[in-house]
Amino acid sequence: MIIRKLSLILSLFAISTTAFAQNWGGGIDDEDWSFGFNFQYISAEYKILKKANWRSPFYEVPNSLGVSYDPNSGVPVTSTLNSISSVPSQGFGLGFVMNRNLSENFDIRATPSLIFSDRSVTYEYEPMAPINVGNGQTKNFQSVVERKVQATMFEFPLGIKVKSDRFKDLRVYWLGGAKYSIDIASKKKTFDDGETAVNKLLKNKRNYLSYETGIGFDIYFEYFKMSPEIKLSYSKNDLLQHDDTAYANPIDKLKLRQLTFSLIFQ
């Protein structure tokens, strides 16, 4: 649904702005190298691959902050899982554009960018009555737990841009390639040593590779070129840091799906 809405907006935007565009475009297509900048809107979510026993409840391990599937090890940490899901989370990014013109219809393009984008995983458990753990204390259980992964990423996408012939002041293009991402966020956002099992964080690996593809329009104005673009990326490998927690253990693999809408100026 999001992709269809953005595609419609992009198409209408291209049609409406073409009427006011000029023919020259600053001569950008006559240069071997061209540079620019971009603004990005991002929607990211996980594809979650679960383990065979993902629904099993967890129990405390005595004298430890770890968890166990053995009901005899201690009091429950969680009840039985009903679902694990990830809803799209929004973010934004800023970046540069470096473009190498190979021919009339082919470019090589890199867009190193700084990305601010949170992601989230939601765990839904079967309702469970509070239990008495002694000393007059009662342990309550949450039915819904959300674990956010805060990410500040430096991304370096590199791809081939295949352009149509220019029609008046418009070109359509397809883009395909790969992207390297590294998390440059503070370690404090992933530091949970000493936390109880129910307060542990869900953590991602610091760097990863993704495949990406997209479409866009080059719209020529008098002194510059603007390119609205929609791009999809999908991480190549598992992003999950497999530590011994009630939130990481039920998951076999986490893959990241990201939709990016960009406005590129050159």
pLDDT in tens, 12-71: 555 555 445 446 556 788 888 999 999 999 999 999 999 999 999 998 888 777 788 888
pLDDT, tens digit (0-9, with 9 covering 90-100), for 131-141? 877 777 788 88
Give the lowest-confidence range in 45-59, 68-82, 227-241. Answer: 68-82
SS3 per-residue string spanning 22-79: CCCHHHHHHCCEEEEEEEEEEEEEEEEEECCCCCCCCEECCCCCCEECCCCCCCECCC
Which tokens go with 209?
A: 């590779």
3-state DSSP: the chain helix, strand, coil percent, rounded to 5? 10, 55, 35
Local confidence band at 257 (pLDDT 50, 70, 90 cut-offs): very high
Over 90: is that where the pLDDT of 264 sits?
yes
Determine whether 81 is exposed, middle or buried from the number of CB atoms within 10 Å of its CB (0-12, 13-18, 19+).
Answer: buried
* Distance from C-alpha of 261 to C-alpha of 7, rounded to nearest angstrom: 9
Higher pLDDT, 135 or 214: 214
pLDDT digits (tens, 9 = 90+) for 158-208: 999 999 998 888 999 999 999 999 998 756 566 777 677 777 888 899 899
What is d(CA 165, CA 161) in angstroms, rounded to the nearest whole number? 13
* Dist. CA 196–CA 95, nearest whole Å: 39
Among the CATH numbers 3.30.2310.20, 2.40.160.20, 2.40.128.20, 2.40.100.10, which is that of 2-265?
A: 2.40.160.20
Q: How confident is the model over 50-60, as pLDDT tens digits?
A: 999 999 999 88
pLDDT of residue 25: 59
Please provide the distance, in angstroms rounded to a whole number, between the alpha carbons at the two ends of the chain: 30
Tell me what the pLDDT averaged over the chain comes to. Answer: 86
The neighbouring-strand residues paired with 266 are none
DSSP 21: -
Query: Does 98 have pLDDT greater than 70?
Result: yes
Given a cut of 60, whether residue 8 has pLDDT beyond it is no
What region, left, alpha or beta, does residue 194 occupy, with left being phi > 0 and alpha being psi -120 to 50 degrees?
A: left
| Domain residue limits, the chain | 2-265
